[in-house]
Structure 1
Amino acid sequence: MISVQEAQSLIKSTVRVLYPEQKNLSEAVGQVLSEDVVSPLALPPFRQSSMDGYALHHADVAQSGITLPVVAESRAGNDTPQVLERGTALHILTGAPVPDGATAVVMKEKVERNDNEAAIQQFPVSEGQNVRSIGQQIRKGDLAMPKNTYLTPGSVGFLAGMNIQNVKVYRRPSVGILVTGDELVLPGNVLPGNDLPGNGGLRFGQIFESSSSMLAAVLRAEGILEVEIRYVPDDEAATIAALRDLTENNDVVLSTGGVSVGDYDFVGTALEEIGVETVFYKVRQRPGKPLFFGRNDDTIIFALPGNPASTLVCYYEYVLPALRLLSGRSDCFLPKLKLPITHAFSFHGERDEFLKATATTEAVTPLDGQESFALRSFAIANALIYLPAGQNTVQPGDLVEAHLLPFFC
């Protein structure tokens, strides 16, 4: 059994980024550039007004209130170059080309317009005032965005403004999910006759399966849509066959349940049978101790505990970082804050604790229902409190480490 830190370090040293692909810019948001992007043009490509107002030569304004004749207008989209003579002004709109001969733009609030004359109420007027110079944002041939940049909506807008339509990005992984358990029933799959009051359509001893929907949802939130889900009973041969197929066809395989040492836990045997190399098995934590991480050629495998809260804790702390590393991201782990805890908490034993919690900018509150089977508290949690075994007793106001979940940071 290894520590939380050792497990995360082994994931970081084991996982390698996937090969690049070319993607349409509009579809590449949330992915990471695999090569530098160089600007094919200057932005702006012409001198541009940053205000509605009047273009003029700054030296023509010798004092406040000087009046200049308004000889023309320039609006956004004007495709005819203009020249402004000294001693005159031109009405100009935001984003419009500044004519040759003009050295400044005075905002309209500083001008009194009377028919074809403009009385300039500002003095002095500085050279370059309210004028965006050619290449002020970026020059042609400059590095627009370096390799390994995470593409945000702002990144997409910036690159689109340079007429860049396709980019090379690291590929998002495909994920196979294996769900095991004789007791599991797929939601909506109720057999006739199972309609006794209060059982929700289940036979005695059955529960509705939720882990596959939960994992598919967190993967979708990460932008991973290529997901294959298999369901198998507690049967060794079926588990081996399903894991072999998923491992051959996906970059990442996640299994839920069957990884412990019970008589009907066949995932460990199946992983060994198909030749998966163990990187680690069991982490000194609660919940989620029986976590397996391994690899088979270029595929990485996580065997997650069967209890849904344990599954989700292990996903956020270990699987999510691996998925982000595969996708080229360097900020792979959950953001961490030191916050005062609002309630006392204590635990026994030598395993670190992850507590479902709600965090604000001022404090973090552990929730009720910390059991590994309980998802109700996870439904409202926006953070996990991480308490190492050496910090097994905390009082209100003590600083603790809060890990912020992706939906809330």
Structure 2
Amino acid sequence: MIDVDEALSLFAEHIDPLESERLAVTHALGRVSATEARAKIALPPFAQSAMDGYAVRAEDLAEASDKEPVELRQVGEVAAGDTGRLPRVNKGTTVRVFTGGRIPPGADAVVRQELVTADKSRISFEAPVREGKDLREVGEALAKDTVLVEPGERLDERHIAALAMCGHAEIDVIRQPAITLLVSGDEVISPGIELRPGEIYDANTPLLSSWLGMRRYRNIEIVQLEDDRRTVEKALRKALDQSDLVVSTGGVSVGDYDFFTDAADTLGLETIFWKVRQRPGKPLLFAKGEQTIFLGIPGNPGAVFISAYVYLRRVLDLLEGTSEPGPAMHRGVLAGPVGRSAKRVSWTGANIRYGEDGKVHLEPISGHRLSQVYRADAIVRVPAREGEMEEGDVVEWLAIK
């Protein structure tokens, strides 16, 4: 049996990223960048007006005042999106410009429309203007060749927008893994069917499929299994042949109907570890074949829930080559006492509150069953030690989201 930190390290030692593929940027949300991406253009790509107003030469308005306004002759108009030839601003002239429109040659400032008096083509200015006022220079927001995305970044809507506005139609990302979920247990039946004595409704299938779906994983096959050695071995063999990642629930403990550990050995998988000093989820199994990762999670839905956020998250991040594989742990303070084990890390749910001290305060939820933690905001890691943790003690936690 190993501790939690050793288990997390062993995943990193034994899992390599999958190969890359090229996707349209608009289809890359949630994917992990395989390469660096730089801005193909500067932003803005041309000098543009930041306001609706008039493009001028600042020196023409140096003596303007409300008592002695300066009058300029309007010689043209430029709207956002105009791509034709621009009128030139010469001494004594001005050009009407709109937000986002190109700055005509000769102009070095923009005067907002509410600060002028317009009479047909004669525009009156009652104050000087600073050179560069309300004018966006080329590259002012972002220089060409600026790094937009580093390898290993998981792309969110901000990355997608930045890539698109800087000229990227496609990007190289790590291929998503093909995943098979093997859900075992003769006692587990689908919701909607009347329970018989000894049966329970299946929470693990909807839990894991929803968890993966929320994270935009699409290539998933779900197989529900009876507690039969041949059935388990056959299903595991097929899953290993067609998947990058196999995740099982149940069947990894030491009971007479727990067959996954023996099936993994029979099929030639290398067991990296089995059993972690933690609760829930002690009989966690990590094994690997030539091209497939196998993560065996005990069938308790609370253990499945916590294992998804701690261990499945890490496995997926490593397969996709993220530069900072999860779980993303933070530090906060307990808002109440919580029990702990002398020999094992305990994972427990908590609700997040923000204190006047600016720290995250975590209100523990008693127990780690799914029925107890499903409304939690966070999972708290309670270190192994004698006695009880008290209000104000510092702990590590990860967000449920």
Q: TM-score, normalised by structure 2?
A: 0.92
Letter matched to residue 113 of structure 1:
A
Corresponding residue of 2:34: 34
SS of the aligned residue for 2:72 comes to strand
Q: Deviations 1:62-110 (Å, cap 9, x if unpaired)?
A: 1343332222211111122211122211121100111011111122233
Question: Would you say 1:98 and 2:103 are equivalent positions?
Answer: yes
User: Structure 1 stretches (4+) deviating beyond 6 angstroms?
Assistant: none
Corresponding residue of 2:190: 186
Q: For 1:335 and 1:303, locate their aligned partners in 2 and report how far apart those are by CA, in whole Å.
A: 22
Q: Which moved more, 1:396-405 or 1:245-254?
A: 396-405
Q: Deviations 1:103-151 (Å, cap 9, x if unpaired)?
A: 111222333334433333443x232222222333445555554433332
Q: In structure 1, list runs of 5 or more residues that go unmatched.
A: 191-200
Corresponding residue of 1:197: none
Q: Which moved more, 1:276-285 or 1:45-54?
A: 45-54
Q: Deviations 1:37-58 (Å, cap 9, x if unpaired)?
A: 3444443332211111111111
Q: Indicate if the aligned counterparts of 2:342 and 2:385 stay in contact, CA closer than 8 A.
A: no
Deviation of 1:311 after TM superposition, in Å, equals 1.1
Deviation of 1:19 after TM superposition, in Å, equals 0.2
The CA RMSD measured in Å over matched residues stands at 1.9
Letter matched to residue 92 of structure 2:
G
Residues 53 and 169 of structure 1: is their aligned pair in 2 closer, same or farther, counting only changes over 3 Å?
same
Corresponding residue of 1:287: 280
Q: For 1:122 and 1:223, locate their aligned partners in 2 and report how far apart those are by CA, in whole Å.
A: 56
Q: Indicate if the aligned counterparts of 2:340 and 2:382 stay in contact, CA closer than 8 A.
A: no
Q: For 1:120 and 1:150, locate their aligned partners in 2 and report how far apart those are by CA, in whole Å.
A: 51
Deviation of 1:203 after TM superposition, in Å, equals 1.2
Deviation of 1:224 after TM superposition, in Å, equals 0.8
Q: Equivalent pairs: percent with the same residue?
A: 33
The alignment covers a number of residue pairs equal to 391
Residues 127 and 255 of structure 1: is their aligned pair in 2 closer, same or farther, counting only changes over 3 Å?
same
Q: In structure 2, list runs of 5 or more residues that go unmatched.
A: 356-360
Q: For 1:106 and 1:355, locate their aligned partners in 2 and report how far apart those are by CA, in whole Å.
A: 60
Question: Would you say 1:217 and 2:221 are equivalent positions?
Answer: no
Q: Indicate if the aligned counterparts of 2:275 and 2:284 stay in contact, CA closer than 8 A.
A: yes
SS of the aligned residue for 2:171 comes to strand
Match of 2:316 among 323, 326, 338: 323
SS of the aligned residue for 2:100 comes to coil
Q: For 1:316 and 1:404, locate their aligned partners in 2 and report how far apart those are by CA, in whole Å.
A: 9
Deviation of 1:324 after TM superposition, in Å, equals 1.2
Q: For 2:381 and 2:191, locate their aligned partners in 1 and report how far apart those are by CA, in whole Å.
A: 33
Q: For 2:25 and 2:353, locate their aligned partners in 1 and report how far apart those are by CA, in whole Å.
A: 35
Q: Deviations 1:322-352 (Å, cap 9, x if unpaired)?
A: 1012112123223333222122122343111
Residues 208 and 45 of structure 1: is their aligned pair in 2 closer, same or farther, counting only changes over 3 Å?
same
Query: Aligned runs of 1:129-208 on 2, under 5 Å?
Result: 129-140=133-144, 143-188=147-192, 190=193, 201-208=194-201
Corresponding residue of 1:113: 118
Q: Indicate if the aligned counterparts of 2:151 and 2:323 stay in contact, CA closer than 8 A.
A: no
Question: Would you say 1:377 and 2:381 are equivalent positions?
Answer: no
Question: Would you say 1:229 and 2:227 are equivalent positions?
Answer: no
SS of the aligned residue for 1:335 comes to coil
Q: For 2:11 and 2:351, locate their aligned partners in 1 and report how far apart those are by CA, in whole Å.
A: 27
Residues 392 and 278 of structure 1: is their aligned pair in 2 closer, same or farther, counting only changes over 3 Å?
farther
Match of 2:244 among 233, 251, 270: 251
Q: Which moved more, 1:307-316 or 1:374-383?
A: 374-383
Deviation of 1:213 after TM superposition, in Å, equals 1.0
Q: For 2:39 and 2:381, locate their aligned partners in 1 and report how far apart those are by CA, in whole Å.
A: 44
Q: For 1:44 and 1:391, locate their aligned partners in 2 and report how far apart those are by CA, in whole Å.
A: 61
Q: For 2:219 and 2:110, locate their aligned partners in 1 and report how far apart those are by CA, in whole Å.
A: 53
Corresponding residue of 1:399: 394
Letter matched to residue 86 of structure 1:
K
Q: TM-score, normalised by structure 1?
A: 0.90
Letter matched to residue 254 of structure 1:
V
Q: Indicate if the aligned counterparts of 2:311 and 2:327 stay in contact, CA closer than 8 A.
A: no
Corresponding residue of 1:194: none
Question: Would you say 1:126 and 2:130 are equivalent positions?
Answer: yes
